Amino acid sequence: MDPKQQADEIEAVMLTTETCPNLNITQRFEIVTAECAFGMHIFKDLFAAVRDVVGGRSEAVQKTMRDARKTALYELKREAWLVGANAVVAVDLDYTELSNSGNMILLVASGTAVRIE
Summarize pLDDT for 30-59 with one digit per residue, the tens: 999 999 988 866 555 555 555 554 566 677
pTM: 0.75
Q: 23, 25, 111, 117: which is closest to 75 by C-alpha?
A: 111
> What is residue 108's three-state secondary structure?
strand
DSSP string for 11-74: --EE-SSS--TT--EEEEEEEEEEEEEEE--HHHHHHHHHHHHH-S--HHHHHHHHHHHHHHHH
Superfamily of domain 3-116: Hypothetical protein apc22750. Chain B (3.30.110.70)
pLDDT at 20 over 90: no
pLDDT at 114 over 70: yes
